[in-house]
Structure formats: C-alpha cells, structure tokens
Chains A and B, each alone.
Chain A
Amino acid sequence: MRLVNVRPDRGTALFLAILPFALVILAYVLGSAERLALNPDDKLLPSLGSLGEAIVKIAFTADARTGDYLLWTDTLASLERLFSALAISTAIALAIGVLIGMLPVVRSFLAPFVAMVSMVPPLALLPILFIVMGLGEASKIALITIGITPYLIRDLAMRVEELPREQMIKAQTLGASTWQMALRVVLPQILPRLMDALRLSLGPAFLFLIAAEAIASDSGLGYRIFLVRRYLAMDVILPYVAWITLLAVAMDFALVRARRFFFPWFGAAK
C-alpha cells in the first residue's frame, strides 16, 4: 500500500499525537536526573518535584512582599495588554481592510502605504514608543497594535477582494447601496475570515507582548521571566513558558470554536 493511503485509526492517531509530547517530557526527566545526580544543586534542569514546588509557590501562595499571587497578577496584567491591543487592531483592521477591499479609490490611496508600513520592524520602533508614550501601558499596547495591525489590514483587504465579483453585482441588482453592501454582504462574510487571521496573529502578538514587558515593565508574564532569569530560576521560567503557550493555544481553540458557532455556513461554503 502506498504511504499516502495509510490512515491511522483513532487510537493510533491519538497515540501518535501524544508521542512527541511524551518524548520531550521523557528527555527532560532523564536529562534532569542525570544532571542532578552529578550536582544536586544544579539549577538548569530542575526535577519535576521542584518544578511542582515552584508552581505552588508562584500560583497558590501569596507573595511575602506584596501579598499577590504572582502568576495570576502577571497573567492578568499581560492579558489586559494583549486583549486591549487585539481589540484596537481588530477595529482598525476591519474598518480599513474593508474600505481597501471594497473601494478602488481607498485602495489606491492606502494600499501602498499599508504595504510599506507593514514592512517596518515593530521592535525597532519600541524605543520611539518608549520615548514618546512613556514606559506605561500605552507603549506596550501600541507595540502589539503596530506589530499586527498592518498584517490584519492586508489580509482582510485581500479576503474582501476575493469575494466573487458576481456577489457584488448581484447585491447591486437587488438595489443595495455601498453602505448596505458593506453591512449585509461584505462584513458578515469577512468576520469568520477575520477570526482566522486573528488566530494567525496570536503568535506575533505574544512575541511583541513579551518583548515589551521584558524591556520595561513592573508586572506581566514577560517581565517575570526576564526578572527571575537573573537568579537562573529555571523552576519559574519553565512553568511560565508552558503557561504562556497554554494561554495562546486556548485562545486559538476558542477562536475556532467561536467561528464554528457563530458562522455555521462558513466551513461548508468555502
């Protein structure tokens, strides 16, 4: 049988999916045990036990100095920045993306500009943002927004242009104005595509979030990781990295679910 025709059954598929995770954990446990056998004070690969202890300490024990539960306050601070930035980006991208996609005049006016701006490396703008907006929340939210908005605009504009020409003509023969076409034909069809674009921007959004927090902040997931780096506290860094990953995966999953729930026609119509 050809390799392209070999399909795993459900059990095998599940086993195959779990396998890489199990292998990574196994490699970690073996490596950690070996290093700890040589040097019980080794900080590079802490044992699963000390990782667990650290998680209890950061997540379920109030901090001695502030009385906060560090993991949760950090998560809250980071998510606030991330969600604010995602909301702003989405609103801007939706408005400008639809305009560029629908109106040839706006396309001529803005498309080359947006294409150019999207090539500016956002991290290179971070010092400017810090200088102009200060070290507070605004500059961090601005960095994430600048980082993902041009991509979202371009993606949405392309999706709008991809809508069949026949649909636009048909809407006009039903007497639709430009505004009505945007409202009833373009927007509803672009929202599920926006959700997919958002999923793809989650990675960059987290990248810019952590970067901004690492450089100048007093709370947040990125801030904590870069703070405890000074003490080589791998037992805190590793759970934080896993937690950030988990958050991103959960958001991705939620977006897929939301798209299927709100736009049941989308999967079938593609």
Chain B
Amino acid sequence: MTAISVRHLWKEYGDQIVLEDISLDFAPRAFIALVGPSGCGKTTFLRILLSEESVTRGEVLIGGQPIAREPGADRGVVFQRYSVFPHLTVLGNVVLAAEMGEAPLTGRLFGARRRAAEEEARALIEEVGLKGAEDKYPAALSGGMQQRLALAQAIMRRPKILLLDEPFGALDPGIRADIHQLMLKLWNTCEMTVVMVTHDLKEAFTLATRIIAFERRRNRPEEKARYGATIAKDIEVWPKRIAGQPKTKSVNPGRDDPALPSGPGRDDPALQTA
C-alpha cells in the first residue's frame, strides 16, 4: 500500500522550466492517468517517479519516505518500446525478474529454486495470455504480445508502484482493447498503485481512477522557456473504480462500451422527445 506525494515539484533543464510547482497526492492502489499535449512534461514527471530524472526543487515522497535516488525494485515500469530483453525467451524474461532478486552473485537460479521461479513465471505468462509462447524470443512476438510480456516481467517482481510510459500507444485498437482488460485485471489483483502516461483520452477514462491533465498555460514563444507545465485538470473518474472490486457488469455502460441488449439507448428518439 503505497501513497505517492509530490510537493511543490519544479523541474528545469538549464533555463527551460518543464514542470512548475506541481503538488499532488496519489492514494494507495489508485490508477492515475497522466494526459496532456506533447512536450507538456508528463513523461518527465513519470521519469522523476522512476528516479531516472531528479527534481530541481520540491520533493517526492513514496509511502512517506523521500524517493530513492535511483530506479529500484519497488517501482516497476513498462515503456512503449524496448521493455523486454531481446536475448531472453519469454520464460527467460519473466524468470529474470526472480533471478535478479534472489541471485545477487550469479544472476541465475538453479535446481529447486529455479523450478519454483519457473512455475511462478509460467502461471504469470498464462495469466497475461502468452501460454504456448514460453520459448519464443521477443522478436517473434507481435507488439501487443511484447507488451503483455513486459507487464508479466514487471509484475513478477511485485512492485508497489507500476509506471507505464505510453505502453499501449503503438498497438492497434483491437489489441489495445484486449490489453486494457488485462491491465484492469492486473490492477485489481496485484497490490499496486499504477501511474500511466498516455496521449489517448479514451484509454485514460477506460482504465484510470483519476486523470491528471498537464498543460503549459503560457505558450507564447517568448514565454515558453520561463513557464513550465502545471496541472490543468484533475478529474476523479465516475463511477468510482475501486481496486480489487472489478465491476461485474455496469448498470450504466460507458459511452464506448457495447450497448446493452434491452432498454432505451441514449440515442433513442423516444428519449429525445421526452
């Protein structure tokens, strides 16, 4: 159960201010979507949560403690590309997560411990829908399958926070819908807070419990460098999604859900005249 608090965060590259006085609190097990136009600093914000970038001013607290200075096993990540290791098979990629944790010297597990790790990995691979592909190399997988693998690999390490950097941006719509279902399932079953950067608003509203929109409010050329992005919108998604309580069947379907078989639809002419 890990809350994230960001207090008066500023990020500057030289004279360029990227993020300006950002203060946020993310509840444990929230699913946060960061949205905004290109270059608004949402990816920079994610990199700060990943400790890949440091803050210029302000602080980031994770579970009440200042954030570690380098990436660590408490925060998993899935990038848009290059998230899995091309030289390992699907099984090897997932088992690697256990090996890094348990074998500090050789980075490899043998015997009974390896079999235990493999068993756990196989279960996870099946859960993300990659059963049968255990011995394939990532290059032989489609983009969607590679992202499923990246999710399995990240979750194998049981991170408290999962950071997603436009993870599904390069996938086509059908595959994206499937992987959204998987993502919700994982968020419901694993004890983790999720922060996702996306440029797809529909995706944000499909998955998240809360949506944060970043925006540069001053965008004139002469002002651009000296004013960074701030939070333009902070939206709690309604109806509330609660982790661990997947909705069985919604009474009020979302606008992009398939229509219910009975009852008047929102475009029903009878409703419009009434």
Q: A164-B82, A170-B83, A265-B87 are in contact. Are A175 and B72 (CB under 8 A)?
A: yes
Verify B107–A173 contact, CB threshold 8 A: no
Residue among A177, A180, A264, A266 with the most chain B CB within 10 A? A180
- A169-B87 in contact (CB<8A): no
- From known contacts A167-B82, A268-B140, infer whether A173 and B87 are also in contact, taking CB-CB under 8 Å: no
The contact of A166 among B72, B81, B99, B153, by CB within 8 Å, is B81
Given contacts A180-B104, A184-B107, contact A172 B70 (CB under 8 A): yes
The listed residue (B76, B82, B140) touching A173 by CB distance below 8 A is B76
- Asked whether A169 and B100 contact (CB < 8 A) given A188-B87, A269-B139, the answer is no
Q: A184-B96, A184-B107 are in contact. Are A172 and B139 (CB under 8 A)?
A: no
Query: Which of these, A171, A173, A175, A183, contacts B50 with CB under 8 Å?
Result: A173
Check: B106 CB closer than 8 A to any chain A CB: yes
Is B205 engaged at the interface, CB distance under 8 Å to the other chain?
no
Cβ–Cβ contact A269 & B76, under 8 A: no
The interface residues of chain A lying within 8 Å CB-to-CB of B99 are 184
Using A175-B101, A175-B157, A184-B100 as known contacts, say yes or no to A265 and B79 having CB atoms under 8 A apart.
no
A135 within 8 A of B: no
Given the complex of chains A and B, what is the CA–CA distance between A176 and B107 in angstroms?
8
Contact in complex: A169, B52 (CB < 8 Å): yes
Contact B137–A265 (Cβ < 8 Å): yes
Q: Which label, helix, strand, loop or mixed, suits the secondary structure of the A interface?
A: helix
Asked if A175 and B137 make an inter-chain contact with CB atoms under 8 angstroms apart, the answer reads no
In the complex, which of the residues B50, B81, B104, B108 contacts A177, with contact meaning CB atoms closer than 8 Å?
B104
A174 vs B105: C-alpha distance in the bound complex, in angstroms? 15
- Please tell me which one of the listed residues A174, A177, A264, A266 contacts residue B153 in the complex, with CB atoms under 8 A apart: A174
Question: Does B77 lie within 8 Å of A169, measured CB to CB?
Answer: yes
B26 interface contact, C-beta 8 A: no
- CB-based A-B contact count at 8 angstroms: 87
Residue A263 at the chain B interface, CB threshold 8 Å = yes
B85 to A167, Cβ gap below 8 A? yes
Assess whether A172 is in contact with B104, with CB atoms less than 8 Å apart: no
Contacts of B108 in A (CB 8 A): 184
CB neighbours (8 Å) of A248 from chain B are: none
Give the CA-CA distance A177 to B102 in the complex, in Å: 12
A185 within 8 A of B: yes
Q: Within 8 Å CB of A179, what residues of B?
A: 104-105, 107
- For the complex, give the distance between the alpha carbons of A268 and B108 in Å: 25
CA of A171 to CA of B99, assembled, Å: 11
Q: Does A84 contact B (CB under 8 A)?
A: no
Q: Which of B100, B137, B139 contacts A176 (CB 8 A)?
A: B100
Closest Cβ–Cβ distance, residue B150 to chain A (whole Å)? 8
Cβ A189 vs Cβ B86 within 8 A: yes
Please report the C-alpha to C-alpha distance between residue A266 and residue B103 in the assembled complex, in whole angstroms. 26
Shortest distance between the CB of A201 and any CB in chain B (Å): 23
**Contact yes or no, A180 B100, CB < 8 A:** yes
Expressed in whole angstroms, the minimum distance between the Cβ of B195 and any Cβ of chain A is 13
Q: Determine which residue in A170, A263, A266 has the highest number of CB atoms from chain B within 10 A of its CB, and name it.
A: A170
Docked complex Cα distance between A170 and B73 (Å): 9
Are the C-beta atoms of B107 and A264 separated by less than 8 Å?
Answer: no
Residue of B nearest to A167 (CB): B82
Query: Bound state CA distance, A11 and B267, in angstroms?
Result: 67
Question: Would A269 and B87 count as touching, CB distance under 8 A?
Answer: yes
User: Which of A166, A171, A175, A265 has the most B CB atoms < 10 Å from its CB?
Assistant: A175
Task: Name which residue of chain A comes closest to B154, CB basis.
Answer: A173
Cβ A189 vs Cβ B73 within 8 A? no
The answer to whether residues A183 and B86 also contact, given A174-B96, A174-B97, A269-B137 and a CB cut-off of 8 A, is no
- The distance from the CB of A228 to the nearest CB of chain B, in whole angstroms, is 49
Q: A166-B81, A173-B77, A180-B100 are in contact. List 8 more A-B contacts (CB 8 A).
A: A166-B82, A174-B76, A174-B100, A174-B154, A175-B157, A184-B107, A265-B138, A269-B137
Instruction: List 21 A–B pairs whose Cβ atoms lie within 8 Å, in order of A's numbering.
Output: A166-B83, A169-B71, A171-B100, A173-B73, A174-B97, A174-B153, A174-B154, A174-B157, A175-B157, A177-B104, A179-B107, A180-B103, A180-B104, A183-B107, A184-B107, A265-B138, A266-B87, A268-B139, A268-B140, A269-B137, A269-B139
Q: Which 9 A-B pairs have the closest CB atoms?
A: A175-B73, A269-B86, A268-B139, A164-B82, A172-B71, A166-B82, A265-B137, A184-B107, A180-B107
